[in-house]
Amino acid sequence: MNKPNIFKREINYVLLLLPALLIYCTFFIFPTIKTALYSFTNWSDVHPVVVKFVGIDNYIALFKDSIYLTGIKNTLIYAVLAMLGQNLLAIPLAVFLNKRLKTKNLLRAVFFLPAVFSVLVIGFLWNFMYSPSDFGLINQLVVALGFERINFLGDPHLALYSVIIASVWQWVGYTMVIYLANLQSISTDYYEAAKIDRASGLQMFRYITLPLLLPAITFNTVMGMINGMKVFDIVYALTGGGPGYSTETIVSLMIKKGLSEGFYSYGAAFGIVFVILVGFITFIHFTLIKMWERR
């Protein structure tokens, strides 16, 4: 008697999930499969109609191309440093703004405000601040302190790190809000018990706050890494990938080489490598987080 009811309930769940599943398959699974197939061909503007199977030639050429290897290296540096910068600044900031301050709501809004603006707007703003000319705000301060002007975006050794600073400045407030939400769910009983045991503020942070922030830490670090691996807009707004190829990323090279220059199969191979790389890094990240949780 209960089996038809159970079956009917399961069908209802399937029907509820079906629209989301169709959208996911249409916009991710199917394009990924097509991209993987095209990555083994010679499809390009040179061969737009007669497309031939070339095996793993595109992948071999990819790992011999110094420009693509530079893009992978830049992306990994950006993803790791931006993720670390956002979280290392956001946690103490959230702890501070979780206290009973009269201006805490105003300060929260001020720190969160940059996340509201478009990344392109933030890029143009920092382009103005980094400018080596007379109106560059940061260089005005550098000159006032008696140093020579710094070409933040024109120096190949500084450009990528300058982009990372601008990105961290924009997203640290967003990361802080997630930590704040987690902090407000922590019971004050833990802290009251710790005070009775005469624990210091640093000890309470280490043994109470930090372990109970693990859900937010996991979310912020994983999403920070994934978003960092997909970075394009802030690089486009600040440097356009230059000077030279010093700030090119995986996505920017995919767009330039795979679409703008018409090497579609080559770009498709790079796209598949990108998907595998993101999946591998996410898996390692989750593994490290789980190891920390067990400790």
Nearest to 249 by CA among 78, 64, 63: 78
Q: Is the pLDDT of residue 208 over 80?
A: yes
Domain residue limits, the chain: 66-294
Length of the chain: 295
Query: Which two tokens mark 107?
Result: 């300060």
More confident residue, 71 or 12: 71
Q: What digits encode the pLDDT tens for the residues 224-240?
A: 999 999 999 999 999 98
pLDDT at res. 136: 84
Non-local (6+) Cβ contacts of 282 within 8 A are 222, 225, 226
What topology does CATH give the domain 66-294? Answer: MetI-like fold (1.10.3720)
Residue with tokens 């079906």, as numbered in its chain: 18
Residue with tokens 């767009």, as numbered in its chain: 255
Backbone angles phi, psi at 77, to 5 degrees: -60, -45
User: Among 73-87, 98-112, 165-179, where is mean pLDDT lowest?
Assistant: 98-112
Q: Could you give the CA distance from residue 75 to residue 274 in angstroms, rounded to a whole number? A: 10
Name the maximum alpha-carbon separation found in the chain: 86
Q: Is the pLDDT of residue 200 over 70?
A: yes
Distance of CA 150 to the CA centre of its chain: 27
Q: What digits encode the pLDDT tens for the residues 29-61?
A: 998 899 999 999 988 887 677 788 998 999 998
- Identify the three-state secondary structure at position 100: coil
Q: What digits encode the pLDDT tens for the residues 88-146?
A: 999 999 999 998 888 988 999 999 999 999 988 999 899 999 998 877 889 999 998 98
Q: Is the pLDDT of residue 185 over 60?
A: yes
Q: Could you give the CA distance from residue 255 to residue 259 in angstroms, rounded to a whole number? A: 5
Residue with tokens 């103005």, as numbered in its chain: 128
Nearest to 195 by CA among 184, 185, 187, 203: 203
DSSP secondary structure of 94-138 = HHHHTS--TTHHHHHHHHHGGGGS-HHHHHHHHHHHH-SSTT-HH
Q: Is the pLDDT of residue 5 over 70?
A: no
**pTM, 2 dp:** 0.88
Q: Could you give the CA distance from residue 204 to residue 194 in angstroms, rounded to a whole number? A: 7
Average pLDDT over residues 272-280: 89
Q: Is the pLDDT of residue 2 over 90?
A: no
Backbone angles phi, psi at 263, to 5 degrees: -95, 75
pLDDT, mean over the chain:
89
- Identify the three-state secondary structure at position 272: helix
